[in-house]
Structure 1
Amino acid sequence: MEKREEREVVSVTDGMIESMPVFAKELVAGGVAGGFAKTVVAPLERVKILFQTRRADFHSIGLLGSFKKIANTEGILGFYRGNGASVARIVPYAALHYMMYEQYRRWIILGFPDIGRGPGLDLMAGSFSGGTAVLFTYPLDLVRTKLAYQVFEPSKLNIKRMPHAEQFYKGIFDCFKKIHKESGIRGLYRGVAPSLYGIFPYSGLKFYFYEEMKSYVPEKHKKDITVKLFCGSVAGLLGQTFTYPLDVVRRQMQVQRISASNSVEMKGTMQTLVTIVQNEGWKQLFSGLSINYLKVVPSVAIGFTVYDTMKLWLRVPSREDNTGKKALEGINPRSTSHHS
């Protein structure tokens, strides 16, 4: 009886998977990959944001001191402050990012049949997909940053006595509500310009380096998880290094309204960049980069690996079988070939 029920469950699952269009499978695979990877590196992400925005409080005590300070003042849950908003953002972001990467790749191939299918194609598709995903999910990134910026314990905080410049947010929805009330829709997109400037090269370079490195891997080793983890971590490392200063600019623009220490109004990307260099030195543009390396290596590596694994589990056809009009229309070809 139990075996029969198990077979029925497997049969229903197989039927659901087979009935899903290709783009839906890519959305699911990307969302799972993004959420899993982001949760793994959440503590490092929290410390990195504090390094970027609260320089005086955390630079002097270093990485281990910052971890100890958070643990003592906020407990273990303090390492995951803002992670709910982070995961809420990263799941749709990663889902759109990976799915649109595959779609842009197919559109480019169909629109320009003579174009090569090498890493250059991945550079273009990755750049466009990153920009698309940012535009749809940026408000959640802004909320995540503002929540992660808070380092006090709400239970011990007398909100009525809080200085006007230091805003307090109780949670995701409260943060959305107060930002919209103060600045409207534009407030929810504060700092989006450097995000777009940074995501186009970063996303493109990430996919470029990942596919380029995999092209040198012998065919018999391309399915090895260790190989995918290595290629993904190096790809994230190189891509992040070139675009990190724009990430610092974005964070400082995001927290400007709630930071009591900012006396200079920073309105644009270039003005913020110049202000940071003048007031804090060019090294501040790379503040938290060492932590980011520790975060990017597992995050990008896990993301690519989980994405490829989910595509295999969801039976997504290989890219060679998945570049035609049927794939673009969302029709799932019955193929036994899988993307490695």
Structure 2
Amino acid sequence: MSLKGDRLKDEGSRLQVTAAGATAGLIARFVIAPLDVVKIRLQLQTHSLSDPLSHRDLRGGPIYKGTLPTLRHILRSEGLPGLWKGNVPAELLYICYSAVQFTTYRTTTQLLRAAFHDDDNPNRSALPQSAESFIAGAIGGGTATATTYPLDLLRTRFAAQGNDRVYPGLTLAIRQIAHDEGIRGFFRGLGPGLAQIIPYMGLFFAAYETLRPHLSELDLPYSSGGAVAGTMASVMAKTGTFPLDLVRKRIQVQGPTRGRYVHKNIPEYVGGTVGAVRTIWRVEGVRGLYRGLTVSLMKAAPASAVTMWTYERALGFYMGLGEKREERL
């Protein structure tokens, strides 16, 4: 791997990497917030659009069909702010998640290179590049998911609200969940979340680190090699792990408020992740496990591209500040 390709993992202090990751998460979240709300609404929609009989239990809930019609429906019924529902916990989630993810990824890579160092090049691991990136990406994603999961649950619940607000505000939501569901309520769906994110981030970073050096050598118009590599890696990883993401969303809105969201007919799932998958498969078919995949891919591509593009430039900016500070000293 070229020196340029190693920058993501090797350059910058831990504080600079953390700050760059947080900056990337903050900007990426704001850009893709409307698509995130649409994705969650589609994922929570349990009825089949092709079966009129399945509409009998909607209890006043909306019927969404496709990305653009869902965007128009939310704008018409809830206004422009409806597309940024859950943005406060989501911004906190993306900032904390990105900071933990990139820091853990960098630290894990350094540990792997120390444990499996190449005798001919102490700065390089004897592990294959793809294996090193997969392990570091999986550990980084898993650590970030477990650390920030309560914010992810809050983001989902706020995005699932219609005009009838389940939670008036973030502080009251935290208090209500703690009172009604206990600490475990903040971690509903963590199992499928970890089962999804570990292979997702492993595949993402493995693909990203493999594609980036080659794409960086190309003269791409209006884009950088890192942005294109991030987009391609995200699409490949997201498609492979999407059913677990859908199951996580369905489990996150379980509990005493289940019937009060914009979709009022969300079933009660028993048996954990496996039970939820079986129920969705039996009632909604294979397509039920991929509701919202199109908008998820639409969201994943710009989100990853913006995240990686911003991260690289933010890291360069913070490293430049550090160099200037050292020069003054």
TM-score by length of 2: 0.82
CA deviations 1:87-118 (Å, max 9, x no partner) are 11110111010111011000110122142362
Aligned partner of 1:229 in structure 2 is 227
Aligned partner of 1:182 in structure 2 is 180
Q: C-alpha displacement at 1:151, in angstroms?
A: 1.1
Q: Which of 293, 308, 313 is residue 309 of structure 1 equivalent to?
A: 313
Q: Which of 3, 6, 13 is residue 22 of structure 1 equivalent to?
A: 13
Contact 1:85/1:141 (8 A) holds in 2: yes
Aligned partner of 2:196 in structure 1 is 198
Contact 2:21/2:99 (8 A) holds in 1: yes
| 1:109 aligns to 2:113 (yes or no) | yes
Aligned partner of 1:9 in structure 2 is none
Could you tell me which runs of 5 or more consecutive residues in structure 1 were left unpaired when the two chains were aligned.
1-20, 155-167, 317-330
- Once superposed, what is the RMSD of the aligned Cα atoms? 2.4
Contact 1:71/1:79 (8 A) holds in 2: yes
The residue type equivalent to 2:198 in the other structure is F
Aligned partner of 1:277 in structure 2 is 281
Contact 2:269/2:279 (8 A) holds in 1: no
Distance of 1:282 and 1:220 partners within structure 2: 39
The residue type equivalent to 1:193 in the other structure is G
Distance of 2:225 and 2:185 partners within structure 1: 42
| 1:299 aligns to 2:326 (yes or no) | no
Q: Describe the SS at the equivalent of 1:33.
A: helix
Over 3 Å counting, the alpha-carbon distance change for 1:237 and 1:99 in structure 2 is: same
Contact 1:51/1:58 (8 A) holds in 2: no
Q: C-alpha displacement at 1:126, in angstroms?
A: 0.4
Aligned partner of 1:51 in structure 2 is 42
Contact 1:130/1:199 (8 A) holds in 2: yes
Q: Structure 2 matches for 1:63-142, cutoff 5 A?
A: 63-114=67-118, 115-116=126-127, 118-142=129-153
Distance of 2:235 and 2:63 partners within structure 1: 22
Aligned partner of 2:56 in structure 1 is none
Distance of 1:145 and 1:266 partners within structure 2: 20
Distance of 1:307 and 1:201 partners within structure 2: 22
Identity %: 31
Instruction: Give the length in aligned residue pairs.
Output: 288
Q: C-alpha displacement at 1:58, in angstroms?
A: 5.4
Moved more, 252-261 or 34-43: 252-261
Contact 1:58/1:66 (8 A) holds in 2: no
TM-score by length of 1: 0.79
Q: C-alpha displacement at 1:217, in angstroms?
A: 3.3
Contact 2:18/2:99 (8 A) holds in 1: yes
Over 3 Å counting, the alpha-carbon distance change for 1:25 and 1:177 in structure 2 is: same
Distance of 1:280 and 1:116 partners within structure 2: 43
